[in-house]
Amino acid sequence: MDLRDPKTQKFLLGALVVFLVLYFWYARIYSKNATLIEQKQVLYENLLTDLKSVEMKAKSFENLKKEYEKLIERYHKVERLLPEEKQIHLFLMQMHSAASANQTGIIQVVPQGPVPMSFYNVNSYDIEITGSYHRLGGFLSSVGNFPFLTNVSGMTITALPQEEQIHEQKDKTITASMKLTTYYVKEEEKLKKVEF
């Protein structure tokens, strides 16, 4: 390689100029902007991560909203079975209708008073009725069809002595004692629907 040859000198000078241009471009422009590019890349990745997180939360929120709606619907179904207030008159009317429809006689009704539970109150009544086994079954069936939740517990059935039974109709052959329990929602515990 002859350094005195003008072509070689032009080639070396051109290579030196290209090298100097690349060096100054890298030192002055690229390295300054490289940190900015790196910062922008980190910001982009953070924003992308946040976007994915928000998308996942939105999907999760929609699922939670659907689940909440289902739970509210189930709560309202249960709430319909639990009256909003203590309704003694309705209970007594329903019990009287059940006894009349099944030709049983109510001997006594003794209210026990409310017992507070977690979000509802419990009202119990000790009742004693007279009739036949068949009519007692009809009465219990009617109690099971009350428009509110009613439980029967502690039932004892006693056969009436032969001299007290009405022989002509055979409709008063037993006496049944039981506890009827009704429930109602506490007003302060009543669930309010939340709108999203």
41/120 same-domain check = no
Report if residue 192 sits inside a domain.
no
The whole-number pLDDT of residue 84 equals: 66
* Residue type (1 letter), 135: R
Domain that holds residue 6: 1-81
Structure tokens belonging to residue 79: 């709430």
Look at residues 81, 105, 136 and tell me which one is the last residue of a structural domain.
81
The whole-number pLDDT of residue 128 equals: 95
Domains of the chain: total = 2
69/119 same-domain check = no
137/60 same-domain check = no
26/110 same-domain check = no
The whole-number pLDDT of residue 32 equals: 77
Split the chain (196 residues) into runs of 10 and give each run's mean pLDDT: 81 90 83 82 91 86 86 78 74 91 92 84 92 92 89 91 64 88 76 66
Residues sharing a CB contact under 8 Å with residue 166, sequence separation 6 or more, in sequence order: 172
Report if residue 31 sits inside a domain.
yes
67/149 same-domain check = no
CA distances (Å), 59 to each of 45, 52, 53, 125, in order? 21, 11, 10, 50
The whole-number pLDDT of residue 71 equals: 84
Look at residues 81, 111, 132 and tell me which one is the last residue of a structural domain.
81
75/2 same-domain check = yes
The whole-number pLDDT of residue 59 equals: 82
76/15 same-domain check = yes
Residue pair 160/171 in contact (Cβ under 8 Å)? The answer is no
Residue pair 182/148 in contact (Cβ under 8 Å)? The answer is yes
Report if residue 195 sits inside a domain.
no
The answer to whether the predicted template modeling score (pTM) of the entire model surpasses 0.85 is no
Beta strands (DSSP E) in 88-146 are 105-116, 120-131
The whole-number pLDDT of residue 137 equals: 93
The whole-number pLDDT of residue 99 equals: 93
Report if residue 193 sits inside a domain.
no
Report if residue 34 sits inside a domain.
yes
Look at residues 81, 96, 118 and tell me which one is the last residue of a structural domain.
81
